[in-house]
Amino acid sequence: MKPFFAPNIGSQGRLLRGLGALGLFVGAWFAFDVSTWLGIVLLAFGGFALFEALRGWCGLRACGIRTRF
């Protein structure tokens, strides 16, 4: 059995997750003007996506769900 945080995505998946994290961070920047809670949620999701991109790990794949990239 592989360790839970073992890398399970390639460079294309890492790039897409990094761009997604960037989009969530930009969205959080604008969302703080509308709602503090919305900004915090988007910031948290962006942080998780950045973690996935830097680690090369996908949470869905680790749970057995097949993803495209």
DSSP state of 4: T
For 25-57, how does the pLDDT look when each residue is reduced to its tens digit (9 = 90+)? 999 999 999 999 999 999 999 999 999 999 999
CB distance 61 to 13 below 8 Å: no
pLDDT score of 17 more than 80: yes
Give the per-residue pLDDT at 4.
Answer: 82
The predicted model scores a pTM of 0.90
φ and ψ of 12, to 5 deg: -65, -40
Query: Which of residues 18 and 62 earns the better pLDDT score?
Result: 18
Place of tokens 């945080």: 5
Q: Which two tokens stand for residue 6?
A: 């073992």
Give the per-residue pLDDT at 68.
Answer: 84
Task: Give, in order, the Cα–Cα distances in Å from 25 to each of 4, 30, 41.
Answer: 26, 9, 10
